[in-house]
Homo-oligomer: A and B are copies of this chain.
Amino acid sequence: MRNIRLTIQYDGTDYLGWQKQAGTDRTIQTITEKALKQILQEPVRLTAAGRTDSGVHAAAQVANFKTNNPISLAKLQYGLNSLLPDDIKVVSAKNAAPDFHSRYHAREKTYQYTILNRPYPDVFIRKHVYHYGIAKLDLSRMRAAARLLVGRHDFTSFRATGATRSRSNVRMIKRIGIAQKGDLIIIQVTGEGFLYKMVRGIVGTLIEIGRGRFPVSSICRILDARKRTSAGPTAPASGLCLLRVRY
A89 contacts chain B at the CB level, 8 A cutoff: yes
Residue of A10, A91, A124 contacting most chain B CB atoms (<10 Å): A124
Query: For the complex formed by this chain, how many copies does it contain in all?
Result: 2
User: Would you call B120 and A91 a contact (CB within 8 A)?
Assistant: yes
Distance between Cα atoms of A77 and B86 in the complex (Å): 34
User: Would you call A124 and B81 a contact (CB within 8 A)?
Assistant: no
What number of A residues sit within 8 Å (CB to CB) of B? 22
A110 contacts chain B at the CB level, 8 A cutoff: no
Query: How many Å from the CB of A207 to the closest CB on chain B?
Result: 21
CB-nearest residue of chain B relative to A92? B120
Residues on the B chain within 8 Å of A89, using CB: 120-123
Residues on the B chain within 8 Å of A124, using CB: 9, 11, 57, 59, 128
* Complex interface residues of chain A between 163 and 189 (CB less than 8 A to chain B): none
User: Would you call B123 and A9 a contact (CB within 8 A)?
Assistant: yes
Distance between Cα atoms of A124 and B11 in the complex (Å): 6
A219 contacts chain B at the CB level, 8 A cutoff: no
A88 contacts chain B at the CB level, 8 A cutoff: yes
26 A-B residue pairings within 8 Å (CB atoms): A9-B122, A9-B123, A9-B124, A10-B123, A11-B123, A11-B124, A11-B126, A57-B124, A59-B124, A77-B120, A78-B119, A81-B120, A81-B121, A86-B121, A86-B123, A86-B126, A87-B123, A87-B126, A88-B123, A89-B120, A89-B121, A89-B122, A89-B123, A90-B120, A91-B120, A124-B128
User: Which residues of A are in contact with B by a Cβ distance under 8 Å?
Assistant: 9-11, 57, 59, 77-78, 81, 86-91, 119-124, 126, 128
